[in-house]
Amino acid sequence: MGGDHAPGEVCKGALAACSKYPDLEVVLVGDGSQIEMSIQGAEPFVTKRIHIVHTDEFITMDESPTVAFRKKKKASIRMVMDMVKSGDAQGCISAGNTGAVVAGGVLILGRIEGIDRPGLGVPIPLPNRITLLIDVGATVRCKPINLYQFAIMGEIYMKNTLGVKSPVVALLSNGEEEIKGDEVVCEARNMLAGGNMEFMGYVEGKDIPLGVADVVVCDGFTGNALLKFIEGVGEALYKLLKEEMEQRVLPKVGFLFLLPMLKEIWGRFDYEKYGGTPLLGVNGVVIKAHGRSKARAIDNALKVASDFANHRGVDLIRDGLDRGGM
């Protein structure tokens, strides 16, 4: 029931995924009659693997996640997490309130033993690779151990869902030189340098869009600012282009020629392809899809969730913790 296009697009995405992956079964939790309507007319070989669980409690975008989570025992996001906990589901997806997804992950599923705080990792599609930026808001301020564990979890995720053979991990700092960074970042650097992963050291903000690493680790405050900043830049550029288009005649011709090129370029940055943001560090597969997700994004989120579940991603994180990477 969460996100801008629920439940219609969410249901469409579930149908699409079930028709592609014959082993996949999807439980849709939300307003039963709305869901029924959204999936009617689909092929029986698909709908037989779609199950509906009705509830009429939802957590909205403006509710305080932790408060709402404790009060609304039948909230759709809560029921979904309960199913993961009981083993009735191997993973869950939500396009709703991010805070509620994080709170639910921690309160219902609990943290993996040894994990201090969970991390949300966003796969950013760049021209040469996909970079997972972790954390983007689950843990606002971090201790060194948090950054270290984000790196381990991010590396395992990139291996097991996006198939990166030996992910390169970097730590965001305010400069590339070793003398940069505050005590927290500096200590995390030392911990990572002693681990088992391909750790390239510090990177700066400018290195992220240039695609220098598969995993870039930062605290949730900074990651959240960066992620939302990208959205804002896109919005501002679009406004500017529109203004310019309206004021000029000649470039309109140019714009028509340029459109296929721009489309292809934006297409490369299309987050829908990579299926949302995993909440890493909890006892279960939890994927947060973007609030603007349409069917294709949900379809991909289901693929990613089932891949991570099939690879036993949570167990891999548990093992990886002891080894400082895989």
Report, in Å, the least distance between residue 232 CB and its own copies.
3
What is the footprint of its own copies within residues 109-128 (CB under 8 A)? 126-127
Q: How far apart, in Å, are the Cα atoms of 256 and each of 215, 245, 249, 253, 261?
A: 37, 11, 12, 5, 10
71 lies in the site for its own copies, by CB under 8 A = no
251 lies in the site for its own copies, by CB under 8 A = yes
Q: How far apart, in Å, are the Cα atoms of 14 and each of 51, 97, 306, 326?
A: 10, 20, 12, 32
263 lies in the site for its own copies, by CB under 8 A = no
List 86, 206, 246, 322, residue binding its own copies (CB under 8 A):
206
190 lies in the site for its own copies, by CB under 8 A = no
106 lies in the site for its own copies, by CB under 8 A = no
179 lies in the site for its own copies, by CB under 8 A = yes
Q: In the block, which residue shows the tokens 């005649």? A: 249
Strand partners, 293: none
242 lies in the site for its own copies, by CB under 8 A = no
Report, in Å, the least distance between residue 260 CB and its own copies.
7
68 lies in the site for its own copies, by CB under 8 A = no
Nearest to 125, CA basis, from 258, 7, 14, 290: 290
Strands 130-134 and 91-94 turn out to be: unpaired
295 lies in the site for its own copies, by CB under 8 A = no
- The smaller minimum CB distance to its own copies, of residues 137 and 276, is found at 137
List 3, 154, 181, 281, residue binding its own copies (CB under 8 A):
181
53 lies in the site for its own copies, by CB under 8 A = no
70 lies in the site for its own copies, by CB under 8 A = no
Sorted by sequence, the CB contacts under 8 Å of residue 295 that are 6+ apart come out as: 9, 10, 12, 13, 16
List 241, 242, 315, 323, residue binding its own copies (CB under 8 A):
241
Please count the CA atoms within 13 angstroms of the CA of 180 that sit on its side-chain side.
Answer: 11
Sorted by sequence, the CB contacts under 8 Å of residue 281 that are 6+ apart come out as: 111, 112, 115, 117, 118, 119, 138, 149, 153, 317
319 lies in the site for its own copies, by CB under 8 A = no
DSSP 111: B
170 lies in the site for its own copies, by CB under 8 A = no
267 lies in the site for its own copies, by CB under 8 A = no
List 73, 240, 315, 319, residue binding its own copies (CB under 8 A):
240
Amino acid at 97: N
List 149, 222, 277, 300, residue binding its own copies (CB under 8 A):
222
Nearest to 156, CA basis, from 284, 325, 273: 325
Nearest to 164, CA basis, from 207, 121, 120: 121
13 lies in the site for its own copies, by CB under 8 A = no
List 20, 70, 74, 229, residue binding its own copies (CB under 8 A):
229
256 lies in the site for its own copies, by CB under 8 A = yes
**Distance (Å, whole) CA 258 – CA 243:** 17
Confirm if 57 and 45 have CB atoms less than 8 A apart.
no
List 48, 239, 242, 323, residue binding its own copies (CB under 8 A):
239
Report, in Å, the least distance between residue 317 CB and its own copies.
24
Q: Using DSSP, how many helices (H) and how many strands (E) does the chain show?
A: 12, 10
Q: Which residues here bind its own copies, judged by CB under 8 A?
A: 62, 64, 126-127, 137, 140-141, 172, 174-175, 177, 179, 181-182, 184-185, 204-211, 218, 220-222, 224-233, 235-237, 239-241, 243-244, 248, 250-251, 253-261, 264-265, 268
